[in-house]
Amino acid sequence: MAKTKFAYFCQSCGYESAKWLGKCPSCGQWNTFAEEIIEKASTSVPDWKAPSTSLQRSNKPVQVADITYHEEHRVLTPDKEFNRVLGGGVVPGSLVLIGGEPGIGKSTLMLQLALNMPNLKVLYVSGEESEMQIKMRAERLTQPSPEGKAFEKLKAGNSPAHIPGDGRAGAYILTETATQNIFKQIEQLQPDLVVIDSIQTLHSAHIESTPGSVSQVRECTAELLRFAKETSTPVFLIGHITKDGMIAGPKILEHMVDTVLQFEGDRHHVYRILRAVKNRFGSASELGIYEMLGEGLREVSNPSEILLSQRDEPLSGITISATLEGLRPMLIETQALVSTSAYGTPQRTATGFDTRRMSMLLAVLEKRCGFRLGAKDVFLNITGGIRVEDPAIDLGLAAAIISSHEDIPISSKVCFAGEIGLSGEIRAVNRVEQRIAEAQKLGFEQIFISKYNLPKAGDKKRIDFSRSTIDVKTVGNIEEVFGLLFG
């Protein structure tokens, strides 16, 4: 018998210590260490075997030139937003972690994905809900295929219950938390895709701690990682988050998986945002937008239309900025409110924007343009509930602040794309052609960009504005912008 050993883990960050500590040296939290019983790693072998068709990897070192490369074959899902965030589809053998607040729609997104892929055999493993609860949710989800409307009576027990499709493929539901039993069912079913809801509910018999502990989450993830890599089966993990918004469990969990997706949004609003935090197979700055309806999540193909409000009359303090999220250009509405401070210290509040960068913009406006904003309350808001880190919205925010300060509205047919420097200059932004094309497609008549976006003499990458029906205004400093806007 292998001798068991004890260890202390920080329940906040996963730091391991041989003895109990009052304060975690890694994250600085107090009274977060808990004792857990762990066994030797040599006994932690999952009770499953890979199919004979899986690739047998050699343990010998191989030169890079001798490695045979095959173009990766991605599995396209019916959800275009999900494909975009993943980098073009699901990569075989990948391990994807999806985190988000309770009730945000993580289980709905994964169950909807499993039900809408009739050509694949999908195993949905749930450790939080019963089969009847999953069936109730599945009945109200929108199904593109006619077989998705009919469901068999799900049988109680630990065997996968099948939601019927063509007799071979379709969605299978398994309510189980023990990894050994899950791998036995996987060996019998041999699914094309596996969904785990959630990783914090699983437990391995090789670890004697409770489900959700640091060692259990790490061990269960390691077993699923080995299964995904050796069988080339994609695995999706749903993870809980802490009160700080971080994914619960050890930090190594995010390092072990291939892709980390964050499902964001306010439960009191209908729009949800799926953001890629880490992606080994694509861009880590992609973003997908969904609308939460009674029959499930609906993908939003043109987010600019929902981020722009329809106004009947011009209002001061509102501008439109052209931003980029990954490869997608979007036009968002930026709002500003400037009022006289009723207290001694003025308030500086920003929603969806960095407060420190807002303070920098206010300092530039006061120093370079002469606007007295030191005794004013300034509030900024990015509509739609999204957070923007693109510096190209600096020009639009500065114009909104001055519009609210002077109470002069800006035309709703004008948009902005430029970064503001500390000396008041308008700096160039990347991929300005896509921003201009998006503004032109949505019917805008004028866009302000930096004159440094114009090509220099002899530059091969020349920007042709002659074909654009939109009026492109090139400016060099912020005083020039305000002169054209406010006269």
Q: Does 105 count as an annotated binding residue?
A: yes
234 marked as part of a ligand binding site:
no
| 104 among annotated binding-site residues | yes
* Calpha distance 225→234 (Å, rounded): 10
Nearest Cα residue to 13 out of 236, 214, 282, 229: 214
Question: H/E/C letters for each residue in the chain?
Answer: CCCCEEEEEECCCCCEECCCCCECCCCCCECCEEEEEECCHHHCCCCCCCCCCCCCCCCCCCCHHHCCCCCCCCECCCCHHHHHHHCCCECCCCEEEEEECCCCCHHHHHHHHHHCCCCCEEEEEECCCCHHHHHHHHHHCCCCCHHHHCCCCCCCCCCCEEECCCCCCEEEEEECCEHHHHHHHHHHHCCCEEEEECHHHCECCCCCCCCCCHHHHHHHHHHHHHHHHHHCCCEEEEECECCCCCECCCCHHHHHCCEEEEEECCCCCCEEEEEEEEECCCCCCCEEEEEEECCEEEECCCHHHHHCCCCCCCCCCEEEEEEEECCEEEEEEEEEEEEECCCCCCCEEEECCCHHHHHHHHHHHHHHCCCCCCCEEEEEEEHHHCCCCCHHHHHHHHHHHHHHHHCCCCCCCEEECCEECCCCEEECCCCHHHHHHHHHHCCCCEEEEEHHHCCCCCCCCCCCCCCCCCEEEEECEHHHHHHHHHC
The amino acid occupying position 138 is: A
Q: Is 107 annotated as a binding residue?
A: yes
CA angle 237-243-245, nearest 5°? 55
Q: Check whether 346 is labelled as a binding-site residue.
A: no
Residue 103 is assigned to a ligand binding site: yes
CB 294 within 8 Å of CB 315: no
Annotated binding site: 100-107
Annotated binding site for ATP: 100-107
